[in-house]
């Protein structure tokens, strides 16, 4: 496993949101390590509104974590 997450601290909320997206993407990669299988499955969820809503929910949960780590940028 590589060391890709040195900190949850970001300068501004937008960087925090981008980090939340990265956390969600990394989670998918760790869950399904085969890029070939991820590519094969993508059409099944890419146009599914429920899947897209769930992705947004995962990102929102990660953003809550990042925001808390940054004391909500106060």
Q: What is the pLDDT of residues 17-73, one digit of tens each?
A: 999 999 999 999 999 999 999 999 999 889 999 999 999 999 999 999 999 999 999
Structure tokens at 5: 């997450």
Token duo for residue 42: 């993508």
pLDDT over threshold 90, residue 6: yes
Sign of CA dihedral 69, 25, 22, 59: negative
- pLDDT for 2 equals 76
Of 68, 71, 65, residue with least CA distance to 24: 65
Domain boundaries, the chain: 13-73
Report CA 73 to chain centroid distance, whole Å: 20
Q: What pLDDT sits at residue 1?
A: 61
Stretch (H or E) spanning 35: helix 35-46
This prediction's pTM = 0.89
């Amino acid at each position: 496993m590589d060391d890709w997450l040195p900190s949850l601290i970001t300068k501004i909320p937008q960087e925090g949101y981008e980090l939340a997206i990265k956390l969600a993407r990394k989670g998918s990669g760790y869950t399904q390590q085969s890029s070939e299988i991820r590519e094969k499955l993508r059409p099944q969820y890419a146009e599914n509104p429920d899947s897209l809503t769930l992705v947004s929910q995962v990102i929102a949960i990660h953003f809550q974590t990042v925001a808390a780590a940054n004391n909500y940028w106060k």
